[in-house]
Structure 1
Amino acid sequence: MHAMVGDHVHMYSRSVGMTDRRGEIVEVRGTDGEPPYLVRFEDGHAGLVYPGPDCLVEHRTGDGQH
């Protein structure tokens, strides 16, 4: 998995009753765009993310849209 600052992460819920989480990658700590990623989530919290199979990176497009 590769990502850049400004890409978004969508982490799908793995359990009933839990909600999906979305956030923006604010720092890439791995080499060549690899994890871990520092992500600022929609609720304002930030955390280090090592994406698993329940995670999707949504890359920025050239026009600023996702």
Structure 2
Amino acid sequence: MHAEVGDKVVMHGRTVGTVTRSGTVVEARGQDGAPPYLVRFDDGHEALVFPGPDVHVEHPAAS
């Protein structure tokens, strides 16, 4: 997985009743865009994310 600052991280709920969360990559702490990522979620919470199979990265469209 590869992410850069400004990419959107989407974490899908793994169990029934768990909501999907999304946030923006603030910092990629791994080498060359590798995990872990410091993510600021839509509610303002920041967390270090080690993505698993329930996570995907959306890259902003190039303009």
**What residue ranges of structure 1 are gaps of 5+ in the alignment?**
none
Distance 1:43 1:33 in 2: 24
Count of residue pairs brought into register by the alignment: 63
- Which residue does 1:50 correspond to in 2? 50
Percentage identity across paired residues of the two chains: 60
State the TM-score, normalizing by the size of structure 1.
Answer: 0.92
Q: Pairwise CA RMSD of aligned residues?
A: 0.6
Q: Where in structure 2 are the equivalents of 1:12-51 lying within 5 Å?
A: 12-51=12-51
**What residue ranges of structure 2 are gaps of 5+ in the alignment?**
none
State the TM-score, normalizing by the size of structure 2.
Answer: 0.96
SS at structure 1 position matched to 2:53? coil
Distance 2:60 2:34 in 1: 16
Structure 1 residue identity aligned to 2:33: G
Distance 1:30 1:44 in 2: 22
Structure 1 moving runs of 4+ over 2 Å: none
